[in-house]
Each structure stands twice: as structure tokens, then as C-alpha cells.
Amino acid sequence: MIVSINHSFWFEDLLAKSAVWHYFHRPQDVVSAILDEWCSPMNLRPATSEDLKTIISWIKDETACRTWAGPVVRFPLNPEGLAHDIEFEPGNSYCLMEDESIFAFGQLIKKSPKRLHMARVIVAPRKRASGLGGQWCRELMALARKKGCKTITLNVYRDNTAACRIYISNGFMEVAEKSTQELCHMIIRCGSPNNS
Ligand SMILES: CC(C)(COP(=O)(O)OP(=O)(O)OC[C@H]1O[C@@H](n2cnc3c(N)ncnc32)[C@H](O)[C@@H]1OP(=O)(O)O)[C@@H](O)C(=O)NCCC(=O)NCCS
């Protein structure tokens, strides 16, 4: 998606006055989110256990598995074992679809009445590095807000550059005391700046 904007002062002023600015670091991220919403032919739907077979086909080795899902998920993968390890439920796992194809998968796991944990975010290998990861992250964040969530947390390995860039550009911040040298724990508050 090509986004070219000469962001003038009125646009920055508009963003600064709106709650939108709270979620994004750069004007181009706001524009991407607006265009995603208006132009995307893709749909988010709850994942089924059948979908896990497709997700498994995207994970080629143990390192990729760990980078994606952390140390809890056992490799080699099979649908039953994966469903168990990721606490799979149709109400906490989602797919991004175009027509009949799954383009991305991710989870929103309830950790407390107002906190959801975004986990196992993944984009189909053939669709990577074209902005879909960022779009998918925003779709999951919007869904979390619709569910009434006040904070979203996640864990990401520091050497997972693409994932780290997505989360940072969408407003997630590191929580130093819950992070390690290897793993970054991140959080975003979903309320407006005044009531978060
Ligand atoms: C992480 C992942 C979801 C990113 O999805 P994507 O569609 O490739 O990401 P995007 O195209 O939206 O790119 C996001 C950012 O990363 C950068 N990027 C993309 N691929 C990259 C790569 N291989 N190396 C470094 N940076 C990369 C992009 O330039 C972009 O940066 P910008 O926003 O500053 O311009 C995808 O790579 C993936 O599924 N990885 C395997 C599973 C995984 O690691 N999940 C994350 C678990 S926390």
C-alpha cells in the first residue's frame, strides 16, 4: 500500500486533538489505519481448530516455532498438541481471511477482566513484508477495544525485528520490569489519554 502524505499542520492539529493520536506514533500509521479500514477486502473471523492445520504448515522448524509462539509450544506441531499448548478456543483465536484463504492468525487471551494478551500473531509466509503484519495487529487491537479491554499486553523476542517494529509503530511500550534480555514485555492502554 503506497501512502504519501505531506502532513500539514491542520492534520497534526486534528490528530493531536483526537484520541487517535494516543495509539499511533507517526502520521503515516494513522493514514494506514484509515486506509486499512476503508479499502481492505479482508475479513477477520474466529479461528476453527481446522485452521490450525494451515498455521502449522507455515512453521518450518523449531526456531521458527519458538519465535512465533514461545517455549511452551512443543515442536513438531500437530493440531491437537498445538490447540492444547496455545489454550486454543474459538473465542480467543482469529484469522484474517481473503476469500477462502487464511492470510494471518492471532490470539487475544483474557488475562483479567480488562486485560487481553495478544499472542501467536503470524502472517502467511507468502504475504509477509508488505504491511499486512501491521494491519493485522491493528485489526486485533480494534477487536480488543470492542471487547471492552482496557490494556493489551504481549511478549516479543527482541531479535524479532519485524514484530518489534509492528508493535512499537502501533503504540506498544516496553514494560522494563517484566522484560528480560531476550524477551520484551509490552503494553498499550486502550482508553483515551484522559481515562486510561
Ligand atoms: C512478524 C510478522 C507478523 C510481521 O508481518 P509482516 O507482514 O511481514 O510485517 P510488515 O510487512 O507489516 O512489516 C512490519 C515492519 O517490519 C519491517 N520488516 C518486515 N520484514 C522484515 C524483516 N524480515 N526484517 C526486518 N524488518 C522487517 C517492515 O519494514 C516494517 O517496518 P516499518 O513499519 O518500520 O516500515 C511476520 O514476519 C511473521 O508472521 N513472522 C513469523 C511469526 C512471528 O514472528 N510472529 C510474531 C510473534 S511476537
Interatomic CA distance for residues 192 and 40, integer angstroms:
26
The alpha carbon of residue 167 and the mean position of all alpha carbons in its chain are separated, in whole angstroms, by: 7
CATH code for position 134: 3.40.630.30
Judge whether 168 lies within some domain.
yes
Question: What pLDDT score was predicted for residue 196?
Answer: 38
The verdict on residue 2 lying in a domain is no
Number of domains in the chain: 1
Residue 67 β-bridge partners:
none
Residue 22 structural domain? 11-189
| Residue 5 located in a structural domain | no
In this prediction, residue 193 carries a pLDDT of 45
What pLDDT does 42 receive?
81
* Domain-embedded: residue 195: no
Say if 28 falls within a structural domain: yes
Residue 194 lies in a domain: no
pLDDT value for 22: 58
For ligand 1, whether the C-beta of 129 sits within 6 Å is yes
Mean pLDDT in order along the chain per 10 residues (196 residues): 50 58 62 58 91 98 98 97 97 95 97 97 98 96 95 98 98 98 97 47
77 falls within a domain? yes
Mutate to test the pocket of ligand 1, among 57, 61, 128 (most ligand atoms within 8 A of CB): 128
Residue among 178, 177, 158, 179 nearest 167 (CA): 158
Helix (H) or strand (E) segment spanning residue 188: strand 183-189
Separation of CA 195 and ligand 1 centre (Å): 31
Crossing angle for the helix pair 27-39 and 132-146, nearest 10 degrees?
A: 80
Report yes or no on 179 lying in a domain. yes
pLDDT at res. 12 = 60
What is each CA distance from 23 to 16, 74, 112, 113, in whole angstroms?
11, 34, 21, 21
